[in-house]
Structure 1
Amino acid sequence: MSTNFQIEVKKSNGDLHISTSGDFDGSSAWELVNLLDDKYDGKGRVVIDTHNLREMCPFGCSTFRCRLNQSRLPSNRLSFKGAKGYEIAPEGCSVFVSTKKHDCRCSGNCANCPCSEKKQQN
């Protein structure tokens, strides 16, 4: 397993919420699949948050997709949050990517905007 890969699990309203962080390699994929096999009780949905994943190893992504297809978790009950979900989501799963919202409803490019991305980089 990647030494910096971590998983947090929370159950809420019958759904399983999983937060992942660190690098996603083959060992990390196996750890996540095994956790799903242990924690998913066949009811509700599973939501995996990928926002805090960093390096995505192609072998890890492939391992997760292939191994998960053999598990008892139907893909229509599995959702991913974050753009990195596209890299690991098996066919039939949902991936939700939120866009950054600006309080002033601008695009973040205004010269005097307090939420300007240019100002945040300085």
Structure 2
Amino acid sequence: MSSNFQVEFKKNNGNLHVSPSGDFDGSAAWELINLLHEHYDGEGRVYIETTNLRQLCPFGCTTFQCRLNRQQLPVERLFFKGEKGADIAPKGSTVIRSLPKHRCRGNCANCTCCQSKKKY
């Protein structure tokens, strides 16, 4: 197990909020899976904040995606927050992208937040 991996969680309004931090390898994936299976009660949603994850090991992401018990925790109830959520999220779950830190009107020089507004 990655020695720097930790998971904090809390329940709020029927939802489970999970904040893993550190490197996400295979052992970390199993630790997160076990926590979700143990603490998800079949009600509400599960929000996983990925901001504090550092290095994502491809094996850890694949382990999480493949070994999560979808009958115990339907992927439709999983919501991943933060930039790294898309790498961890199993197919069918929701990734919540963070909003730009400023209000862009499309006239910022080299603004990366405007790229998502471009039509193709």
What is the deviation of 1:83? 1.5
State whether residues 69 and 90 of structure 1, in contact with CA within 8 Å, keep that contact through their aligned partners in structure 2: no
Q: Number of residues paired by the alignment? A: 108
**Bigger Rg, which one:** 1
Query: Residues 57 and 81 of structure 1: is their aligned pair in 2 closer, same or farther, counting only changes over 3 Å?
Result: same
- Cα distance in 2 for residues equivalent to 1:64 and 1:26: 8
Query: Residues 71 and 63 of structure 1: is their aligned pair in 2 closer, same or farther, counting only changes over 3 Å?
Result: farther
- Cα distance in 2 for residues equivalent to 1:83 and 1:7: 18
Query: Residues 96 and 64 of structure 1: is their aligned pair in 2 closer, same or farther, counting only changes over 3 Å?
Result: same
TM-score, L = length of structure 2:
0.83
Q: Which whole-Å deviations, capped at 9, do the CAs of 1:2-57 have from their partners, x for residues lacking one?
A: 11111010100000000111100000000000001100000110000001101000
Instruction: Show structure 1 runs of 5+ residues with no match.
Output: 111-122
- Cα distance in 1 for residues equivalent to 2:71 and 2:18: 17
Q: Which runs of 4+ in 1 moved over 3 A?
A: none
TM-score, L = length of structure 1:
0.81
Deviates more, 1:28-37 or 1:70-79: 70-79
* RMSD of aligned alpha carbons: 1.8
1:75 equivalenced with 2:72 (yes/no): no
State whether residues 37 and 71 of structure 1, in contact with CA within 8 Å, keep that contact through their aligned partners in structure 2: no
What is the deviation of 1:100? 3.5
Instruction: Show structure 2 runs of 5+ residues with no match.
Output: 110-120
Please tell me the residue identity of whatever aligns with 1:26.
Answer: G
**Aligned position for 1:119:** none
**Aligned pairs (5 A) from 1:36-55:** 36-55=36-55
**Aligned position for 1:11:** 11
